[in-house]
Amino acid sequence: MMRRIESRVDTRSPEFLAFREANLARVGEFRERQQAARYERPERDMKRLEHHGKLFVRERVEQLLDPGTPFLELSSLAACTEYDGDAKSASCVVGIGVVSGREVIVRADDPSIKGGAWYPHTVKKNVRCLDIAIENRLPVVHMCDSAGGFLPLQADLFPDKYMAGRIFRNQSILSKMGVKQLSLVFGQCTAGGAYIPSLSDYAVILRGNGGIFLGGPPLVKAATGEVVDANTLGGADVHTQVSGVADYAANSEEEAILIGREIVSQWTIEEKAPSQRREPEDPYYDPEELYGIIPGDIKIQFDMHEVIARIVDGSYFHEYQPDYGTTLVCGYAWIWGHKVGILANNGVLFNDSSLKAAHFMELCNQNGTPLVFLQNITGFMVGKDYEAKGICKDGAKMIMVQTGSEVPKFTVMCNGSFGAGNYGMCGRAYDGRFIFSWPNHQIGIMGAEQAANTMADVKIRQLQRDGASLTQEEIEAIREPLLESYEREASSYYATSHLWDDGIIDPVDTRNSLGIAINASLNAPIGEPRYGVLRL
């Protein structure tokens, strides 16, 4: 049995109403930016798609998915601070959905943006998509329509380990694992992009617009002097009747999608990993009350019990060690009918809260319970007394157990994420299956003011050593640009733009996002618990 959390929030208080107003404004800005990334394109680019008889990328995805089923889009604002805003959503759509009753991840090129050319962040998003497929054993549907790499930035997308080659490496790994892949070729797949359908289990190609070739007509002419048109070089009839690169030809995009849905319907539905489940139940408290709980200022503390109460089934929670290490809330709950272990920050991590976290995560691994981390962390406690007590050692235990956890891990950036606390609470480097951020989220080695002051102090001392005598105005002139730069780079938009998370979400959508993610994660088996050396 679990007890229902007793909320102490006064929804009529001035503080609640002020927080609510601030967060509604934040969410409103997020929704506007997301809408623009999803749908706003120059008229000439949309006319070009219409001229070629192409559907918009989101129309393709909508036709592919089973009607009335949820679609969890990932990284909708990827690249939003890069490339002068030209590569909206990093020029592709990625998300988890249902096709012919099967749970899949969809990766769709967006030809309305420079013909679907891959920017560096496009490659990063595609690699992340296939990492998710590998980690969660999710079949992949590729919706291919890309002009290939964006050549002016080729040095940032081609040669390194996690660049474009990793896409095809990941496809090969998926095939080795027996995870299905389908490519629907709506446009030209040139150069490395030709390997996506070639490495898929099934490929459908559209007559007319569809093409697969390592070198397109201009490159063939430049390299060999041969003059050949795109259809003759690598069109649907060539690849379905002669080369065997593709399996089915379609006469329209709608037909290609229909064939794709028929193919997916033949795939085996794999058994989910064993886990504790029950009938889902909506939270007892209204999730929209989260807007009035999260402060307008990142430095103001709030009680994570109130957040948990508006995310979990029935607002029921069994808290583990409620009177020990109280700056970290640990306990069991249900999300979408799946049992989870929750770790949520209620302050800085001390020795006792770090040990509590390590022990609780061991218990969750022992009984196969997925872990959910709700981050609002300034780091581990510092100071003479805490160093003497071994805060490094106890923090290392938390990091070691968290890193060694075999159960799926999920992180929600609910507010601040600073310093090594990010590591202990399953930040990006720690192989969480999914990481979501709220619009108010900030991330950095330290807070913006502390960082700006530290950097400014260093600069001021250098100038003073050289004999300079600085006025307060001159000191502020040094400090303010540093603060502005740090605040920009610590923001949720900068983080999501660089794919340090899997997308910003409205706090009200947290429960559904976690529910879809947890359900998807259970396509992969859960290993036996084992850990590295814990320094005792």
Q: How far apart are CA 182 and CA 201, in angstroms?
A: 6
Answer left, alpha or beta for residue 57, where phi above 0 means left and psi between -120 and 50 means alpha. Answer: alpha
Side chain identity at residue 357, one-letter code: A
At residue 191, the pLDDT reads 82
Decide whether 1-40+272-441+491-536 matches 41-264 in CATH topology: yes
Average pLDDT over residues 309-334: 98
Given a cut of 80, is residue 468 above it in pLDDT? no
Out of 195-204, 424-433, 480-489, 512-521, pick the least confident. Answer: 480-489
CATH topology of domain 41-264: 2-enoyl-CoA Hydratase; Chain A, domain 1 (3.90.226)
Q: How far apart are CA 231 and CA 60, in angstroms?
A: 23
At residue 82, the pLDDT reads 97
Sign of the alpha-carbon torsion through 82, 121, 501, 129: positive
Domain limits of the chain? 1-40+272-441+491-536, 41-264, 447-490
At residue 157, the pLDDT reads 87
Given a cut of 80, is residue 14 above it in pLDDT? yes
Report domain 1-40+272-441+491-536's class. alpha beta
Given a cut of 80, is residue 213 above it in pLDDT? yes
At residue 296, the pLDDT reads 86
Average pLDDT over residues 205-212: 96
Dump pLDDT digits (tens) for 400-455.
Answer: 999 999 999 999 999 999 989 999 999 999 999 999 999 999 998 877 677 777 77
CB neighbour list of residue 329: distance below 8 Å, 6 or more residues apart: 304, 305, 308, 319, 342, 343, 344, 345, 346
The pLDDT confidence band at residue 470, using thresholds 50, 70 and 90, is: low
The candidate with the shortest Cα–Cα distance to 338, out of 279, 287, 286, is 279
The residue whose two tokens read 């929600």 is: 412
The torsion angles phi and psi of 105, rounded to 5 degrees, stand at -110, 135
Average pLDDT over residues 149-157: 87
Considering the entire predicted model, what is its pTM?
Answer: 0.95
Out of 68-82, 148-162, 428-442, pick the least confident. Answer: 148-162
In sequence order, the β-bridge partners of residue 371 are: 341, 409
Average pLDDT over residues 327-352: 97
3-class DSSP state for residue 242?
A: helix
Report the range out of 75-84, 187-196, 527-536 with the highest average pLDDT. Answer: 75-84
Element (H, E) at 519: helix 510-521
Sign of the alpha-carbon torsion through 262, 263, 268, 274: negative
Q: Provide DSSP, 308-341.
A: HTTTSGGGEEEEESTTSSTTEEEEEEEETTEEEE
Query: Mean pLDDT for the chain?
Result: 94
Report the range out of 82-96, 139-153, 214-228 with the highest average pLDDT. Answer: 82-96
In the chain the first and final C-alpha atoms are separated, in Å, by 34
At residue 277, the pLDDT reads 95
